[in-house]
C-alpha cells in the first residue's frame, strides 16, 4: 500500500508560479513511475506530467510543456511539480499518482494504482 499526500496548492494570479509537492510513504518510492494529473470542474481527469523511476525521463501534456517541470527526490520520497506562467485554464485539482508495476512511463490514468487526495490550484485572471 502506497500513501500519497499532495500540498502546495493555492490561489495565484495569471503569470504567477506555484510548486506542488507530493510525499510518498514506504521505502519503494524509487521503483515507482510517478505522475501528476489534474481535474477541472465539469471535466475529466487529464494527464499533466510524468517521470520515470530515476527522474531522468520526463513527459508532459502539450498544454503545459515549457511551463511545468516535474521532478523527484528519491532519497526523501518526494515528487514535485513546478508550475510557471500559470493561466486561468490551469485551474484544477491536481493529483499525484504512482505506478508500481509497469516499467514504461504511462501518460494515461489507467496504469496508476495509487492516488493522493488532491490539492486545489486556482489561477485568477
CB-based contact 116:4 (threshold 8 Å)? yes
pLDDT of the chain along its 125 residues, tens only?
899 999 999 999 999 999 999 999 999 999 999 999 999 999 999 999 999 999 999 999 999 999 999 999 999 999 999 999 999 999 999 999 999 887 899 999 999 999 999 999 999 99
The number of beta carbons lying within 10 Å of the beta carbon of residue 71 is 15
- Beta-bridge partner residues of 19: 82
- In the chain, at which residue ranges do the beta strands (DSSP E only) sit? 4-7, 10-13, 18-24, 33-39, 46-51, 58-60, 68-73, 78-83, 92-99, 114-115, 119-124
What is the rounded CA–CA span in Å between residue 108 and residue 115? 13
Amino acid at each position: 500500500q502506497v500513501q500519497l499526500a499532495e500540498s502546495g496548492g493555492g490561489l495565484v494570479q495569471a503569470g504567477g508560479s506555484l510548486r506542488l509537492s507530493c510525499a510518498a510513504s514506504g521505502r519503494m518510492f524509487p521503483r515507482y513511475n510517478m505522475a501528476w494529473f489534474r481535474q477541472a470542474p465539469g471535466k475529466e481527469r487529464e494527464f499533466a506530467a510524468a517521470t520515470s523511476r530515476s527522474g531522468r525521463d520526463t513527459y508532459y501534456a502539450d498544454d503545459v510543456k515549457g511551463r511545468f517541470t516535474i521532478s523527484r527526490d528519491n532519497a526523501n520520497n518526494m515528487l514535485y511539480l513546478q508550475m510557471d506562467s500559470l493561466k486561468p485554464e490551469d485551474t484544477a485539482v491536481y493529483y499525484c499518482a504512482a505506478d508500481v508495476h509497469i516499467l514504461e512511463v504511462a501518460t494515461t490514468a489507467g496504469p496508476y494504482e495509487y492516488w493522493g487526495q488532491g490539492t486545489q490550484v486556482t489561477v485568477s485572471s
